[in-house]
A and B are shown apart, each in its own frame.
Chain A
Amino acid sequence: MQVTRTTEIWVGAFVALGLVALFFVSMQVSNLGDFKSTRGSYVLKAHFGNVGGLKVRAPVSMAGVTLGRVEKITFDTGRYEALVEMRIEPSYKQLPEDTSASILTAGLLGEQYIGLSAGGSDDYLKDGDEIELTQSAVILEQLISKLMFNKAEEGKTDTKKASHDAPALTTPVTSSTAKAAQASEMAPVAPVVPEGSATPPAAKAEDVGGQKKIKPRSGRVTHKSAAPKQTPAPEHHSTARDGHATKKKAH
């Protein structure tokens, strides 16, 4: 076959068309334009007790805006924790030093991402800095098993209380019946109360006792569920925020 000028032009047009299509696929469909160069960007580190399903290239966002992406997830053999490195875009240089990071889930079963929330410090995070305040991923299975465990515990203590704790409740019962009697004396409108007072106040007291018994337990459980490191975080947060806010006002 003879290579004529027309053939060459057609081949040129074909190759150009193919390249345009490739360009279209990479730019318009898979949005390569979003893929910024790493020049000027900086890396932040954070330790997490559990990263859950976090993947490399997952978004790092603050207030819902993506500031960067997860670059590397490694295991810190010294602390037995996951070490996550995030690359933040150069335009977001001014993140306060006490920024906190938590692993969140987009939607109910969506992908996991890192959510940052700003602190109130005047100093900013620099390249290679570590975010100290972190919150691990919520593992759905653990959450469910904890819930089931709690429910089972509740049921057990209820039955135990019914048989066991009855004698121990004598004192509150008497005091509350006395109180109830007093109350009924004070309230002349309800003459029915003294007759039934023997049972309802007792039940009430039992309830109160139950509540008292349950409260510290549930408190302990929640305390255990949240890592000790994390509990101060929100507190610290709010105070820092408030401080920031007042400072701003003062300015």
Chain B
Amino acid sequence: MVTLFQKLGQETLKGVGKLGRAMVFITHALTGAADLIRRPGLLVAQLYSIGVLSVLLIAISGLFVGMVLALQGFNVLSDFGAEESLGVMVAASLVRELGPVVTALLFAGRAGSALTAEIGLMKATEQLSGMEMMAVDPVKRIIAPRLFAGTLSMPLLAALFTAVGVLGGYFVGVGLLGVDQGPFWSQMQSQIDFWDDSVNGFIKSIVFGAVVTGIAVFEGYDAIPTAEGVSRATTRSVVYSAFAILGSDFVLTALMFGD
């Protein structure tokens, strides 16, 4: 019984300690923003490996998600004779929810895991300690560019996902299923509000980007420097990211769309 309580206390302290380390680490990384302005090359390199290399995955996923939404939506809407609302349905679900959330989940799998593995391996091979020996702050030099590149790429990727998804819905709805294209666009435009829907979706994607990259770089930096430790950290990074995305999505939705 006593050992049970001891274990509980141990876990709690471990959790709080990790949270504290994460906070210190992230604030430290944020102070690296000034260095990034002086050396934008670091950011560009990370934008390439985080953003550009994710474009194809995001675009193809977005296309298929939009197409499936149109197919499924058409089946339901045609029962009510409301096929013209297909555009609204596809666009609303993409702009408000699926765009940011699915992009963030894919992003966590594609870029987040790579970040964790990369940083974890740097730690395991003592590259980070080596940098410290040379009086280079590894958090500012390695972590900050990745954190900012991830936070910047995510909204762009989410916007791409949404746009490609709407086009996919258009191809299936108008091209394949024969919904008239006039109401498809006009109903969408009258129902989707710029501030209430698009901007809120955009805010969501920025938050998700920061959360996913924050978790990924911290898990990598905090990994046990062994092969097994890095592999565990990579798994944790993806799992925690998924939880954080879905949890913060609920909170953000309640805050922004609750009215």
Contact = CB atoms under 8 A, between A and B. Distances in A.
Contacts of A22: 155-156, 159, 202
Nearest to B201: A25
Contacts of B153: 14, 18
Contacts of A35: 194
Contacts of A25: 95, 159, 162-163, 166, 198, 201
Contacts of B48: 1, 7, 10-11, 14
Contacts of B160: 17-18, 21
Nearest to B160: A21
Contacts of B91: 29
Contact of A31 (B41, B44, B49, B192): B192
A35 B199 CA distance: 14
A21 B163 contact: yes
A199 interface: no
B45 interface: yes
Contacts, number: 91
Given A7-B44, A15-B156, A18-B156, A30 B164 contact: no
Interface in B115-142: none
Interface in A24-76: 24-26, 28-32, 34-35, 57
A3 interface: yes
A30 B162 CA distance: 12
B189 interface: yes
B6 interface: no
A19 B44 contact: no
A123 interface: no
State which size class the interface on B falls in: 20 to 34
A151 B193 CA distance: 43
A235 interface: no
Given A7-B48, A24-B163, A29-B166, A18 B193 contact: no
B150 interface: no
A8 interface: yes
A30 B198 contact: yes
Contact of B155 (A10, A14, A18, A20): A18
A22 B95 CA distance: 11
Nearest to B149: A11
Nearest to A14: B52
A182 to B, nearest CB: 61
Contacts of B155: 18, 22
A11 B47 contact: yes
A29 B99 CA distance: 13
B240 interface: no
A1 B146 CA distance: 13
Interface string B177-221: 000000001001110111001100110000000000000000000
B173 interface: no
A21 B156 contact: yes
A22 B202 CA distance: 9
B51 interface: yes
Nearest to B90: A29
A18 B51 CA distance: 10
B30 to A, nearest CB: 22
A199 B162 CA distance: 78
B224 interface: no
Shortest Cβ-Cβ A-B pairs, 10 listed: A18-B156, A31-B189, A21-B163, A21-B159, A22-B159, A21-B160, A30-B192, A30-B194, A24-B163, A14-B52
Interface of B: 41, 44-45, 47-49, 51-52, 55, 91, 95, 153, 155-157, 159-160, 162-164, 166, 185, 188-190, 192-194, 197-198, 201-202
Given A17-B160, A30-B198, 14 more contacts: A1-B49, A3-B41, A11-B52, A14-B48, A14-B156, A18-B156, A21-B159, A21-B163, A22-B202, A25-B166, A26-B198, A29-B163, A29-B192, A35-B194
19 contacts: A7-B45, A11-B47, A14-B55, A14-B153, A18-B155, A18-B156, A18-B159, A21-B163, A21-B164, A22-B202, A24-B166, A25-B159, A25-B162, A25-B201, A28-B166, A29-B189, A31-B190, A31-B192, A35-B194
